[in-house]
Amino acid sequence: MSCIENLNEDCLLKIIEYLDLEEQLQLWQSFKPTSRLRSVLSYRWQHQTNHSLDAETFVQDPEILDVFLQCIQPTVSELTLRYLTMDLLEHWKNRIFPNLRELTYMGDENSELDGDSDIAILVGCFPHLEGIGLSGNSSGQHISRWRNLRRLDLQLCWYLNTQCFEEICQNLRLQTLSIQWHRAEEDAYVRAICTLKELQELELDIVHLSTENTSKLLRLPKLSKLRLHHFEELDDLLSDIGNQRGQDVVAAAFSDNIWMRPSNILAKFQSLRCLTLVDDEGCCAIDFRTTIINCFPLLEQLHLENSRIWLNAHGIWEVALACPRLRDFSLSNQILYDEFFVFCESTMKRALDQRTEPLRMHFYKTGKEDLIAKHFRHPNLKICFNPTNNLFSQLTAESVELEFLPQES
């Protein structure tokens, strides 16, 4: 092993890049405290701004945790902690991480913590935190002490206390919130959320929302995005949203569920300009052109991510014919087969000849760039193979995201 130390620092750093943290720690243990390799490892840890740790990372030698924390303390800005025991969390006490802004904390649900003592430690360590995702046994206590917090994800906090949540909403100027609640708690949670006058994005993992409470949430002055997880009454909720603010919905993303939505509900969102479909092969069960396009006559952008809707490209040109306003189309993270390029070229020509401006088409990770360049050729067509800004890979299965125009003051 000693021969590795003869390499220069650049080579050592490149080798370390290929190792995960556990392997880096093993390498650390293999060398003497005065070794040059330990110095390079320390440099690597200090200059990496995001880290991910779990309970197994330091279980063999918790003392190394102190060395690691000392290295990352001044520089880390993003951190993921998974199922750390209270013994390991004790090593974090009395340390302040001045640049930590984003934290994902998965609490150990099987440990016998003293109330929310783990959250109390985290509050002390990360005073300038701006975004956090929490899971575990947290009741919500201490969260409101993070006065700079703007993004809060409590979807996986099943033991959240209603009073603690109310305190969070009263004391923090949240801009993004993800939350779940039991049906009996609906009124209290909606009442608390309605005090968040700076809230821009809201994600709900719920089983019911009344028409009255829907109206209250939709009146939030800065609400621009609403994400809903699939549940039995989703059509009723979408209908309420369509009735109350359907004219303000300009973009929508559906993850494997648009084919479940009745056309009379989709038609409430006729102002839609941008439609994104993710992980959806169910659209083959509906007539995409007559159902979807008729519901969204003002459509300007259509993005398909891992959504095999048509057997061949003929469907694309039919949509282009039916949507004269369409200016951007993208297809990403979907392997295309040779039969996709067996289509009627006259349909493509008719769709593109009638256009007053070119149609931009983005293809990303399709595996068929050569065939796309060969078959998709027209003066009114611009092809590129880079990703767009509309990748929704993180959209949860069977969920819907709606984007609103700002409300008039």
Task: For 304-346, write each residue's pLDDT tens digit.
Answer: 999 888 888 998 998 898 888 999 999 999 889 999 999 989 9
Closest to 269 in 3D by CA, of 400, 149, 162, 115: 400
Confidence class for position 3, pLDDT limits 50, 70, 90: low
Task: Please check the confidence at residue 96 and state whether its pLDDT lies above 90.
Answer: yes
Residue 231 lies in a domain: no
Residue 347 lies in a domain: yes
Q: Are residues 164 and 259 in the same domain?
A: no
Q: What pLDDT does residue 6 have?
A: 65
Task: Please check the confidence at residue 72 and state whether its pLDDT lies above 90.
Answer: yes
Residue 334 lies in a domain: yes
Chosen domain end from 159, 189, 223: 223
Tokens 């993270």 label which residue? Answer: 333
Residue 59 to residue 56: CA distance in whole angstroms: 5
Confidence class for position 396, pLDDT limits 50, 70, 90: confident
Structural domain tally of the chain? 3
Residue 234 lies in a domain: no
Closest to 387 in 3D by CA, of 304, 313, 324: 304
Q: Are residues 42 and 89 in the same domain?
A: no
Share of the chain above pLDDT 70, in %: 94
Q: Are residues 334 and 374 in the same domain?
A: yes
CATH of the domain at 376: 3.80.10
- pLDDT by residue (tens digit) across 228-257? 998 889 999 999 999 999 999 999 999 988
Task: Please check the confidence at residue 393 and state whether its pLDDT lies above 70.
Answer: no
Confidence class for position 39, pLDDT limits 50, 70, 90: confident
Q: Are residues 138 and 287 in the same domain?
A: no
Residue 236 lies in a domain: no
Residue 268 to residue 243: CA distance in whole angstroms: 7
Task: Please check the confidence at residue 409 and state whether its pLDDT lies above 60.
Answer: no
Q: For the full predicted model, state whether its pTM sits above 0.75.
A: yes
Residue 309 lies in a domain: yes
Q: Are residues 18 and 128 in the same domain?
A: no
Kindly state the average pLDDT of the residues 120-145: 96
Kindly state the average pLDDT of the residues 382-401: 82
Q: Are residues 4 and 95 in the same domain?
A: no
Instruction: Quote the mean pLDDT of the chain.
Output: 90
Q: Which residues contact 377 (CB under 8 A, 6 or more apart)?
A: none
Structural domain including 39 reads 1-47
Q: What pLDDT does residue 388 have?
A: 76
Residue 190 lies in a domain: yes
Chosen domain end from 223, 238, 269: 223
Residue 22 lies in a domain: yes
Kindly state the average pLDDT of the residues 93-101: 96
Q: What pLDDT does residue 122 have?
A: 97
- Burial code (b: 16+ CB inside 10 Å, e: under 16) for 67-97 equals bbbebbbeebbbbebbbbeeebbebbeeeeb
Residue 63 to residue 258: CA distance in whole angstroms: 52
Kindly state the average pLDDT of the residues 187-216: 97
Kindly state the average pLDDT of the residues 136-144: 94
Task: Please check the confidence at residue 113 and state whether its pLDDT lies above 70.
Answer: no
Task: Please check the confidence at residue 128 and state whether its pLDDT lies above 80.
Answer: yes
CATH of the domain at 126: 3.80.10.10
Confidence class for position 408, pLDDT limits 50, 70, 90: low
Task: Please check the confidence at residue 1 and state whether its pLDDT lies above 60.
Answer: no
Chosen domain end from 223, 255, 278: 223
Residue 207 to residue 227: CA distance in whole angstroms: 14
Q: Are residues 293 and 375 in the same domain?
A: yes
Q: Are residues 397 and 328 in the same domain?
A: yes
Q: Are residues 39 and 66 in the same domain?
A: no
Q: Are residues 6 and 103 in the same domain?
A: no
Q: Are residues 178 and 252 in the same domain?
A: no
Q: Are residues 68 and 214 in the same domain?
A: yes
